[in-house]
Amino acid sequence: MNSGKLILIAPLFLLLITTVFSANAQNKKSGRKKEFYFSWGYNKEWYTRSTVKIDQPSLGNKYSFVSIKGHDRPGWDEGLFTKALTIPQYNYRLGLFINKEKGIAIEINFDHTKFIFADQAARVKGTINYKPVDTVVNFSQPDFFYYLNNGANFLLFNIVKRWHLYKPKNEKIKIDLFSKAGIGPVIPHVENKFFGNANKPGFQLGGWNIGVEAAVRATFFNYAFLEYSNKIDYARYSNLKIYEGTAKHAFGTYEMILSLGVTFPVGGKVKN
C-alpha cells in the first residue's frame, strides 16, 4: 500500500473509532477530564508568487524559474460531488483537549492541498548546459510542467486554544472560537518535467511548514460540529526529486476550510 492511500485510510479508520466511542460516551460529557475530536473537510487555496530553484549538476544546470504563479485544483469547481470524495482538496484534524477548563488542546492537522505551476510565461535565470541564461519560456505541456497535484500536503502539530462564545443551558448548540499554531513536515507528491526531461513521480518527505489558523465551530447536541477556518501557511520544500537533480521551492498559502466533525469526552472522571 503506497503512502498516498495510507494518508487517506488513516483518518477514515480514526473516524470509525471516533463514532464507536462517541456512542459509548453518552451522558458523560461533563464528567470527563479531557475531550477528543476528529473532523474531515475540504479546502480552497491561494498562493504567493514564488521561485522554483533547479540544480542538475550532471547536466551543467543551475537555474531558477523566477516569481512564478501557482494555483490550486479544488476538484469540485465544476459542481459538487461530480468526482470521488477523495479527489478534491481535503483536510482532517485529530485533536485532544488536555485541559478542557482552560481550552488547551494538541492537534494533528493535515491539509491535502495542490500546487500547479503551468501555462504561463516564466522567466528563467541562471546556468543551463554550463552557459548563463536570462530569458522567458512558455511553461506549458508537453515540455514543461510542475505538479504537487497529488498533494503539496501540509502536516502540522498544533497547539490549540478555545474560547466559548455562546453556550445555552440545554447545550443543544454551542459556538466556539479557536486559534491554532504549529510546525511540521511537508509530504509532497512530486511530478515535473523541465525542458522535456520528466522525473519519476512519487511521494517524499520534502521539507517543513509552519501555520496559524483561526476557526469558528458550531457544536450540535454536544457531539457533532461544523467548523469554518481561515489559515495562513508557509511551506519550504527542498531536495524535491527531478530528472538528474533536485529542486527547492518555498511559498505562502492562504486557505479557507469547511469541516464536519465529532467530539466526545475521554479520560478520568472529574470529582464533584
Predicted confidence band of residue 44 (pLDDT cuts 50, 70, 90): very high
- pTM for this model (two decimals): 0.86
Kindly report the CATH number that applies to the domain delimited by 3-26+36-49+73-118+147-269.
2.40.160.20
Predicted confidence band of residue 22 (pLDDT cuts 50, 70, 90): very low
Strands annotated E in the chain: 32-47, 50-56, 61-68, 90-99, 104-111, 115-117, 120-128, 131-139, 145-148, 154-166, 173-185, 189-194, 197-198, 202-203, 207-220, 224-242, 245-269
User: Would the pLDDT of 238 be above 50?
Assistant: yes
Least confident range of 18-22, 107-111, 160-164, 250-254:
18-22
Q: 47, 55, 38, 107: which is closest to 72 by C-alpha?
A: 47
Average pLDDT, the chain: 89
Percent share of the chain, pLDDT over 90: 76
What are the phi and psi torsion angles at 10 (to 5°)? Answer: -55, -50
User: Would the pLDDT of 248 be above 50?
Assistant: yes
- Residue-wise pLDDT for 173-219, tens only, equals 999 999 999 999 999 999 999 999 999 999 999 999 999 999 999 99
Residue 5 confidence (pLDDT): 47
13: buried, middle or exposed (CB in 10 Å: 19+, 13-18, 0-12)? exposed
Residue 168 confidence (pLDDT): 87
Domain ranges across the chain: 3-26+36-49+73-118+147-269
Predicted confidence band of residue 242 (pLDDT cuts 50, 70, 90): very high
- Residue-wise pLDDT for 73-122, tens only, equals 987 766 666 667 767 899 999 999 999 999 999 999 999 999 999 999 99
Residue 78 confidence (pLDDT): 65
Predicted confidence band of residue 23 (pLDDT cuts 50, 70, 90): very low
